[in-house]
Structures are given as C-alpha cells and as structure tokens.
Amino acid sequence: MTGLRTYLVVFIALTFNSVFRIFNSPKTEFLSFSNSILHTILARLRSGHPMTWTDIIFERLKTNCLEVVCHVPDSVLAPLITRAEADPFFTVVPLTREEEGVGVLTGAYLGGRRGLLMMQVSGLGNSVNGLASLAVPYQIPFLMLISQRGELGEFNAAQISMGRAARPVLDALDIQHFTLRRVDEVAILTDGAIKTAYTAQRPVALFLSTEMVGWKKEE
C-alpha cells in the first residue's frame, strides 16, 4: 500500500509539474518538454538516423536538471551548445575563460541550481586552481564535459601535452573521470557520472573520446 501511494504521489507531482510548466509558458514549455524528447526520437526514426551522442547527452542533462550550461566554444561541443541555447530550459553562460565556469557553477549551486562546464581539454588546464581551491574544498558538484584533443588523429603539436596530462591532473585533484568511447554507452555513463558527482559533492568529468566523435582535420 505504501508503495502504491508513493507511485501515486510521484505521478501526480510529475503531472502537476508538466501541466504547470506548460500553462506557465505555453509555447516554449510545450516545445521544450514534449517536442524535445519525442521530436528528436521521431525525427531520428523518420530520417533513419540513430540518436547521436549529442541527442543522448542533451536528454540526460534535462532529465538530471543540469540547467546552467557554462562553456567556452569548441567544435565538437558546438551542436550541443547550439541546442542548449535554443532551449529555454537551459541558462547558457558563455565564458571568456574556463576557470570562470567553476565560479559560476559554484554560485549557481549555492543558489540551488545544477549545471555543467563544457570545454575542450585545453580548458581543463585553465580551470585547475578553481577546481583545487574552490570546487574541491567547498564541495561543489557539477559535471565537466570535456572534448579530447592530443590523442588519436591529432595534427596540432600544441594540443598533445594537455590532452595527455588531463587525466593525471584530475587524478591528482582526486576528481573522478570517465571516458565516452561508444554511443551505446553514453546514456549510462552520463547518468552515472552525474549521480556520483552529486553524491560525492564533487565535480566528475566525462571525456568525449576521439574514437567516438572523430578528430579535427587540419583545414
């Protein structure tokens, strides 16, 4: 009986939430909530294209309520940034430098909102003291979504060192990291990384491997 009541309460809460959001801002919320998930799936089915890693991560961010999206632009992450900018669910904060994002996400978390920091791996280098002296000691959780450079197919010698140092740096800071190598594992790794971040009250990093997303061509 208790279990049934719990399900009923959750069902009513979710329905109320959806109805409230739709009435609150009909056009955008309807588009945002219903269209986003169903539309993506239907569009993919119609076109014959499978869900991309961008689609999957986008849905996981919404499901897990990671609303504040801090980023310095990067070509691999560009489609995800564009989708977030087009969706009023997200507050997108374009940064001048990745370390700012550690501060912005700290302030957002203190204010009760979750988020993520998207960057190319070179930006991790720019974030180190923010992570070490703010996120870690103050126990501020967020997701870090990092596109890999310096591994497979790299043309730019200046990218290699930070690309290789990234994981040892995170290990030195005791920040957990996972690597997305196949599209079929993106959903589970993303969900799992987010869950652990908020349990540990610490950032967790997800690397987008070059084997999954491809590598930048010289032109």
Partner 1 sequence: MGDEGQELKDRGIINRLGATRYLVSRAPQALIVAGPGNAKFDLAATGDRPQHFYIWNSLGLAPSIGLGLALAQPKRQVIVLDGDGGTLMNPGALVTIARMAPSNLLHIVWDNGQYQLTGGQPTATATVTDLAAMSRGAGLEHVAAVTTMSEFEVGLETWLTEPGPWLVVAKIDESPAPARPPKDPVWIKLRFMEAVNK
Q: Among 108, 124, 170, 213, which residue interacts with partner 1 (rule: CB under 8 A)?
A: 108
123 binds partner 1 per the rule CB under 8 A: no
Q: How far apart are CA 134 and CA 141, in angstroms?
A: 11
Q: How far apart are CA 165 and CA 169, in angstroms?
A: 6
The window from 5-13, 15-23, 49-57, 101-109 that contacts partner 1 (CB under 8 A) reads: 101-109
Q: Among 137, 157, 168, 218, which residue interacts with partner 1 (rule: CB under 8 A)?
A: 137
Q: Among 17, 25, 139, 199, which residue interacts with partner 1 (rule: CB under 8 A)?
A: 139
Residue 105: exposed, middle, or buried by beta-carbon count in 10 A (0-12, 13-18, 19+)? buried
Side-chain-facing half-sphere of 17: CA atoms under 13 Å: 8
Query: H-type helices in the chain, by residue range?
Result: 2-24, 26-30, 40-47, 53-63, 78-86, 98-110, 121-130, 160-172, 186-200, 210-213
93 binds partner 1 per the rule CB under 8 A: yes
Q: Are 207 and 218 in contact (CB under 8 A)?
A: no
133 binds partner 1 per the rule CB under 8 A: yes
Enumerate residues 59-78 that contact partner 1 by CB under 8 A: 68
3 binds partner 1 per the rule CB under 8 A: no
How near is the Cβ of 194 to partner 1 at its closest, in Å?
A: 18
First to last CA, the chain: 64
Residue 180: name the closest of 77, 98, 44 by CA: 77
Q: Among 100, 116, 163, 166, which residue interacts with partner 1 (rule: CB under 8 A)?
A: 100
How near is the Cβ of 107 to partner 1 at its closest, in Å?
A: 3
Residue 218: both structure tokens together: 């010289």
**# chain residues binding partner 1, by CB under 8 A:** 30
203 binds partner 1 per the rule CB under 8 A: no
Which one, 134 or 187, has the nearer CB to partner 1? 134
Q: Among 39, 49, 97, 182, which residue interacts with partner 1 (rule: CB under 8 A)?
A: 97
Interface with partner 1 (CB under 8 A): 68, 91, 93-97, 99-113, 129-130, 133-134, 137-140
